[in-house]
Amino acid sequence: MSEPQIYCPQCAWRPLGTSRWVCARQMGGCNTSWNTFWTGGVCPGCSYRWEITACHACKRYSLHKDWYHWPETEQHESEHQLEAEQPSSR
């Protein structure tokens, strides 16, 4: 099993183990700071799931899931699923 590469989809910056994100109080958050990639974007303070993650390098926001870059093989599997979902004609 291969692990996804985690980096900014806009500038390819890779988060460090020491990188921290803050559960933004101005957006209704609890002000906890933590490494968002250890929890998949879920705040450990209030359990809020952040859909967007800010890049520390380019300061732009991207969807949290867009930071995960899976190997090519994943796409072949989903193509196969589409074929299997074809309804059988009578």
CB of 35 to Zn ion, least distance (A): 14
Per CB under 5 A, the segment of 14-22, 29-37, 70-78, 82-90 that binds Zn ion is 29-37
Query: Which of 21, 41, 43, 67 forms a contact with Zn ion (CB under 5 A)?
Result: 43
DSSP state letters, 42-81: B-TTT-PBPSEEE-TTT--EEEGGGGEE--THHHHHHHHH
Contact present, 10 and 72 (Cβ < 8 Å): no
Nearer to Zn ion by Cβ, of 13 and 37: the residue is 13
Least distance (Å) from Zn ion to the CB of residue 69?
Answer: 13
Of 41, 11, 43, 38, which Cα lies nearest the Cα of 25? 43
The CA distance from 10 to 63, in Å, is 11
Query: Which residues, numbered 53-82, are part of the site for Zn ion (CB under 5 A)?
Result: 55, 57-58
**What residues line the site for Zn ion (CB under 5 A)?**
8, 10-11, 13, 23, 29-30, 32, 43, 45-46, 48, 55, 57-58
